[in-house]
Amino acid sequence: MPWAPLLDEAEIAAGLASRLPEWTREEATIVRTFRCASFRDAIALVDGVADAAEAADHHPDMLVRWRRVTFTLSTHASGGLTAKDLDMAAEIDRLAARIGAA
């Protein structure tokens, strides 16, 4: 993945507050857990995110635990958070809303 410029603290805070209020900052990552109606819905969410991640060439860490899916984003090539992370988080929110995950 090509290098992307890191966001500064103000840009991260503003992005989370305005676009991604359900995401949490954890050091150099942002994290959100979704609860799905079923295990199959959780896997469908992972599949949708995998497609979006491939298209964007930006891949989140994903952890599936029954009906819960946790996504963790950071731009490893840049060593922290970039606009790519905020954009992918917004896409994950959109995909989750489409299947009714909360």
Please write the tens of the pLDDT for every residue from 7-17: 999 999 999 99
pLDDT in tens, 46-69: 999 999 999 999 999 999 999 999
What pTM was computed for the model? Answer: 0.94
Q: Where are the beta strands (DSSP E) in the chain?
A: 24-26, 29-35, 61-65, 68-73
Domain positions in the chain: 9-99
3-class DSSP assignment, residue 80:
strand
* Whether the predicted pLDDT of 77 surpasses 90: no
Return the CATH superfamily for domain 9-99.
Transcriptional coactivator/pterin dehydratase (3.30.1360.20)
Counting DSSP H helices and E strands in the chain, the numbers are: 3, 4
Q: Nearest CA to 74 among 24, 35, 22, 38?
A: 24
pLDDT, residue 69, reads 98
